[in-house]
Amino acid sequence: MSAEPTPKTREILNQIQHPVIDSDGHLIEFLPSVREHLRELGGSDLVEGLDGVLGAQQAVRDLSPAARRNLGLFRMTWWGFPARNSLDRATALLPKLQHERLPEQGIDFAMVYPTIGLTAPMMEEAELRQAMVRAFNQYYAEEYAGLGDRLCPVALIPMHTPEEAIAELEYAINTLNMRAVVLAGFVYRPLEGENLPRAARWVDTFGLESPHDYDPVWAKCLELGVNPTFHSSAMGWNRGSSQSNYVYNHVGNFAVAGETTCRSLFMDGVPKRFPDLHFAFLEGGVGWACSLYSDLLSHYEKRNLEAVQTYNPIHLDRNLVREQFERYAGKRARGHLDHLDDTLRFLSDPDEDPDSIDEFRRSGVKSPEEIRDIFSQQFHFGCEADDPINSMAFHTRMNPQGARMSAVFGSDMGHWDVPDSREVVVEAWELVEKGLFTEADFEDFVFTNPRRLWTANNEAFFEGTSIAPAA
């Protein structure tokens, strides 16, 4: 089949002079084919393991809310895909149909992220996790073979250990010839102790307190010419998970997950140690990034190694404080002046470990300008078309130091967020019509920033594609 863009989409395409790159489209995996790959890798037991994962939602329905909470469960996604728009459902399932319909949708090139496969890197049991990841990656490489002029599938990379991540990076890039990767944005680590419920876990985002050194993973990404992208969900985290309401759990969850991983990588100095790597945090929008950037700047200006000395208790003039108490304090307070140090010592401990004072040391940043450059150049933030907060990325009067965040357009096609895939470019353009984007902002959003993200570690990324002359 073949169809023309809607009149509104055609009007927009006639007005712009650049391609449209979708940095976060989605597929829906055809499970019988995935099972076949998994069976070839490890036999029927692994297929049963996959089916157990897929049947988890139904299996927990009879559990009480308390039991689900102890297991670390929550109200999961339901009715997540197009139904009334059956053509879009078929499109997400069939890569050749995706390929054929891109011009109708007004998109020139699309990165295609997993859906069901995103669960695989999070599996707790190592053998099942590794086999599922590999089976899904084989499926993506096979299904999208010959469609690389318009579509690029994204390989799954587990992160439970650096060795596991590196093994799958090498397999996906060197053996399957895939060109892009999505890394698990966090790993659940069990707390120490006996007979603890499954929910007794902490979230490792590969930073300051991680039990592993993940620098070899970032180095391998650099070596293989891929940039780390993250598409993680914070549903189920200790942010008030609901046992009965999916919308409650879903709202803001991608932003929370992206912010946590981004903050962790920044404070651990990963972008400073690997200045040629770029990192993308998808589907959470850019509002959280503007807030995190501003907040980090504020903290740096007040709590870098030199500035934090303003609060060093050795500088406190206790005699002056006592004099003010004697002059202004009420009768009850004056009766306790001999114990003034009890209060003055609170959050002002002079015995703080000197080696722990410089909390920005690991980050490697030495100035506010370096923070700006990391957020505006190395970090990229995936934004859906209908989010008006996207305009904050380019609001140089609001963002400190006139920063322009690298917001990248992601359609999220294939999921419930997109009732009609023919409307995503129209929704993105509405920000121009409402005066929230300039046309130059729109070009950065759908072309310049995505091009920079995908070519930053591989200048040949778009060679042989339909947008090669422009990109």
The alpha carbon of 387 is separated from its chain's Cα centroid by a whole number of angstroms, namely: 16
Taking 90 as the threshold, does the pLDDT of residue 197 lie above it? Answer: no
Between β-strands 155-157 and 181-183, what pairing exists: parallel, antiparallel or unpaired?
A: parallel
pLDDT at 1: 59
Full DSSP string of 214-271 = -HHHHHHHHHHT--EEE----TTSSS---SS-HHHHHTTHHHHHHHHHHHHHHHTTHH
pLDDT at 71: 75
Per-residue pLDDT, averaged over 382-392, amounts to: 94
Full DSSP string of 22-63 = EEEEE----HHHHHHHHHHHH-HHHHHHHHHHHTHHHHTTTS
Per-residue pLDDT, averaged over 92-102, amounts to: 96
Residue 50 corresponds to which tokens in the numbers above? 């996959």
Biggest CA pair distance of the chain: 88
Is the CA virtual torsion 355, 360, 366, 368 positive or negative? negative
> Model pTM?
0.93
Of 130, 119, 128, 113, the C-alpha closest to 57 is 119
Q: Tell me the residue type at 77.
A: T
8 A C-beta contact, residue 459 and residue 276: no
Q: Using pLDDT thresholds of 50, 70 and 90, give the confidence band for residue 146.
A: very high
43-58 pLDDT, tens per residue?
Answer: 999 999 998 888 777 7
Report the distance separating Cα 223 and Cα 207, nearest Å: 21
210-250 pLDDT, tens per residue?
Answer: 999 999 999 999 999 999 999 998 887 777 678 778 888 77
**Average pLDDT over all residues of the chain:** 93
**Cα–Cα distance list, 395 to 23, 389, 427, 441 (Å):** 22, 10, 19, 10
Lowest mean per-residue pLDDT among 144-148, 336-340, 416-420: 416-420
78 HSE (CA, 13 A, CB side): 14
Which residue would you say has higher pLDDT here, 149 or 253? 149
Residue spans of the domains in the chain: they are 7-302+377-455, 308-356
pLDDT at 349: 87
CB atoms within 10 A of CB 278: 22
Per-residue pLDDT, averaged over 268-291, amounts to: 97
8 A C-beta contact, residue 203 and residue 149: no
Pick the CATH number of 7-302+377-455 from 3.30.420.40, 3.30.300.30, 3.40.630.30, 3.20.20.140: 3.20.20.140
Q: Using pLDDT thresholds of 50, 70 and 90, give the confidence band for residue 2.
A: low
Query: What are the two backbone dihedrals, phi and then psi, of residue 408, each rounded to the nearest 5 degrees?
Result: -125, 140
Taking 80 as the threshold, does the pLDDT of residue 68 lie above it? Answer: no
Q: Tell me the residue type at 315.
A: H
Report the distance separating Cα 112 and Cα 69, nearest Å: 33
Residue 276 corresponds to which tokens in the numbers above? 């040629």
388-401 pLDDT, tens per residue?
Answer: 999 999 999 999 99
pLDDT at 351: 87
pLDDT at 19: 97
Taking 80 as the threshold, does the pLDDT of residue 207 lie above it? Answer: yes
Of 451, 384, 445, the C-alpha closest to 26 is 384
